[in-house]
Structure 1
Amino acid sequence: MKFTEALSSLIAAATLAQAQLSRVNDFNASPTRLQMYAAVPPRSFPGPHPIVVAVHHCQGSATGYSGATRYVQLGQQNGFIAIYPNSKSGGGCFDVASTATLTHNGGGDSQTIANMVKHAVEKLNGDPNRVFAVGTSSGAMMSNVLAGVYPDVFKAVSVYSGVPAGCFAVQGATATQDPPGWANSCANGQLIKTAQQWGDQVRNMYPGYNGTRPRLQIFHGTSDNTLRYPNYNEQLKQWSNVLGLSNPRNTTNTPRSGWTRSIYGEGNEKTAPLVGYSAQGVGHSVPQQEAMDLAFFGITN
């Protein structure tokens, strides 16, 4: 290897090693008090950059989730902005229960996260046409909410061990409540609705919206004892109705032994509008599949 090539490799490695998540201090944390953390790709990547919003679980944090996932490092390698919202609640959960957060521009944590994307577009050279969300547990619940409440912002979403959008709605819950509302019937997989009812719940989050809806990738373990497995099928019912899809193509032992993949609509596991993964014997929560997420988002092949 030539000296100049070796030097370039060392510089690139050092850049990746130094890449870290930083608090975005000039973000106006409104309408709620969520903190915004972000990692911007190196200058060698011309913008505007895709944006991946990664939403942490209860009892988690932006920095903790960034350490448990690889979106910061992958953003440095593939040229996208990684945003990690940080919950304001004492228990680290996000508000997916209040009417405010379940209503387009209604307030709540969902609007604060949408405002983080707006900030990234305006200040960090983000691409408004390539915005994606991924989350685990409470973060998965919020990612589903973002897909329903802000379909004009998010183009695709990947959720790990979540519940349908609006499943945690709690009468009287407010956007300032700490901790956010908890719905036992939903968490326990006892809230069963028709596909039409779930679909209407999403459509009512943004009345009158008739634009393109986000694509969804959904992971859930059959042995999940926190957000129980029936929520997997309820999510598929919801989004297949919203997207006008039916008759999934199922493949067993894909992408690993014991998992079953379900593809709805035209395309493959990377391009279809709705893809589900049922993970046999896996609890709460399903291990993160970052490479699959980025391929589903169209950031990588």
Structure 2
Amino acid sequence: MPKRPSAAASLRRAWRKGLSAVTGQVLRSARDAAHQARRTGSSDLMPDLVRGMRKTPAHPSPGLGDWVAGIASGRAGMRRFRLFRPSGLAVGERPPLVVMLHGCGQDPAGFARSTRMNRLAAREGFLVLYPEQSRLANPQRCWNWFDTESGRAQAEAALILAAIDQVCLLHGADRERVALVGLSAGAGMAALLATMHPSRFKAVAMHSGVPPGMATSATNALRAMRGSALPSTSTSTSTSTSASASASTSTSNATGAWPPLLVIHGTRDRVVGASNAYEAARQWAEAAGAKAAPARVVQRGRRWPMTVVDFKRGRAVAATLVEIDGLAHAWSGGAAKEPFSDPAGPDATAMIWRFVAKRLALKA
């Protein structure tokens, strides 16, 4: 008598069949759009995306888990993404998800190597999503966090949300335990996304980025990066309205409307002015009605010292500001010889996970 397949085996087969169907549909849509773009002579993201899906870039964390390719679509077009899924996750398990938004000049594999977030994910058992900006959307691969006047920033934020939804649906990530992390332009996009959709995230971490409302287009983005811009009235009003609406409908965040924020910034950053770090913490504190606790100086071994300030409402932390003395525009404590990475700084990846894990109700 033939042996009946187990429930787990049946579930795996159903999951693979569903994934194959969705991926096939996305690729067919991409090919159709690319064909249409060639016929009409329009510039479109589709050819770049289709070519990218055929490539198999080197796995940044071999032996630790799977490096899965995917595509998300929305009104801003389509974007590739990579998902790191650590080995050993059980079928049916719903692990938390950390979303990593790279900076200018980076891609998912490089960002993963620099931050070593995959190594931490393999140890702690969470998924890591790396959305990828296209060169056609921005020649330097920067997320267009500043372009709120045209709506491009909001459209790219929606694409990232679509990628998150896809990972939750197809790969079993727990949509109630999602955290956002970004570096530079990715940090600006992470902050914007968190204020637009605060109920979707349990925590957000900005490394060397610009907070929402400091720019509305490419023409004033440079001033914002230098720290010489004031928050835009229209964007600030929109953000405040979003926060107020969320406060009345969301009870998932103990500090108020927005998810708790960790800000990490170097005092020698010449690309994004360090005043942006305080402005981000100030925005979050104001939204939560939080006040600054006394600053403390922390130094681990010979790494750069850091000044840490918590902004609290009661015992709840709305924001934590970490200013690292001597750090330039680079991931603090990142892998040596990687671009935008400084091994002399305190370990930002570990700091971020400790901050995030508490909000995900996990052991840090």
Q: Could you say whether these structures have the same fold, taking a TM-score greater than 0.5 normalized by the shorter chain as the test?
A: yes
| CA gap 1:129/1:263 in 2 versus in 1, 3 angstroms | same
- 2:185 counterpart of 1:138: yes
State the match for 1:75 in structure 2: 121
| Alpha-carbon displacement from aligned partner over 1:174-209 (angstroms, at most 9, x marks no partner) | xxxxxx776121011101359x99864522456733
Classify the secondary structure of the residue corresponding to 2:177: strand
SS in 1 for 2:204: strand
1:220 maps to a residue whose letter is H
Q: CA deviation at 1:72?
A: 1.7
Question: Quick check: 1:23–1:38 contact (8 Å CA) kept in 2?
Answer: yes
**Does residue 152 of structure 1 match 2:202?**
no
Displacement, 1:68? 1.2
Aligned partner (choices 187, 193, 209) of residue 246 of structure 2: 209
Matched letter for residue 140 of structure 2: G
Native 8 Å contact 1:20 1:72 kept in 2: no
From the superposition, tell whether residues 232 and 43 of structure 1 become closer, same or farther in structure 2 (CA, over 3 Å). same
Partner residue in 1 for 2:353 = 294
Matches within 5 A, 1:188-267: 188-193=226-231, 200-205=237-242, 208-210=245-247, 211=250, 212=253, 213-254=258-299, 258-265=305-312
Letter in 1 for 2:229: L
SS in 1 for 2:109: helix
Shift of 1:118: 0.9
CA RMSD of aligned residues (A): 2.7
- Distance change >3 Å, CA 207–CA 252, structure 1 → 2: closer
Q: 1:184 aligns with which of 222, 225, 236?
A: 222
Note closer, same or farther for the CA distance 1:166–1:21 as it changes in structure 2 (3 Å cut). Answer: farther
How far does the alpha carbon of each residue in 1:183-242 deviate from its partner, in whole angstroms, 9 at most, with x for none?
121011101359x99864522456733224201000111111101111112112111111
Supply the distance in 2 between the matched residues of 1:31 and 1:139 (Cα, whole angstroms): 19
Match of 1:8 in 2: none
Q: Aligned partners of 1:257 and 1:73: how far apart in 2?
A: 23
Q: Is the 8 A contact 2:80 2:131 kept in 1?
A: yes
Conserved 8 A contact 1:220-1:286: no
**Which residue in the other structure is 1:30 paired with?**
74
Alignment: residue pair count = 269
User: More helix by proportion, 1 or 2?
Assistant: 2
User: How far did residue 97 of structure 1 move?
Assistant: 2.3
Moved more, 185-194 or 125-134: 185-194
Contact 1:167 1:186 in 2 (8 A): yes
Show CA shifts across 1:235-286 (max 9, x none): 1211111121113231023566531000111688xx7221110111211124
Aligned residue in 1 for 2:142? 93
Give the letter for the 1:116 counterpart.
Answer: A
Matches within 5 A, 1:154-169: 154-169=201-216
Cα pair 2:206 2:262 within 8 Å, conserved: yes
Q: Please, what TM-score do these two structures have when normalized by structure 2?
A: 0.67
**Residues 16 and 73 of structure 1 are in contact (CA less than 8 Å); yes or no, is this contact kept in structure 2?**
no
Indicate the SS of the match to 2:73. coil
Structure 1 residue runs without a partner (length 5+): 1-14, 171-179
CA contact (8 A) 1:217 1:276 kept: yes
**8 Å Cα contact 2:262-2:320 kept in structure 1:** yes
- Structure 1 CA distance, aligned partners of 2:101 and 2:155? 15
Uncovered stretches (5+) of structure 2, i.e. residues with no partner: 1-60, 334-347
- 1:233/1:198 Cα in 2 relative to 1: closer, same or farther (>3 Å)? farther
SS at 2:205 equivalent: strand
CA contact (8 A) 2:262 2:319 kept: yes
Deviation at residue 74 of structure 1 after TM alignment = 1.8
SS in 1 for 2:97: strand
Q: Give the TM-score of the pair, scaled to structure 1.
A: 0.80
Higher relative contact order (CA 8 A, sep 6+): 1
Give the match for residue 39 of structure 1: 84
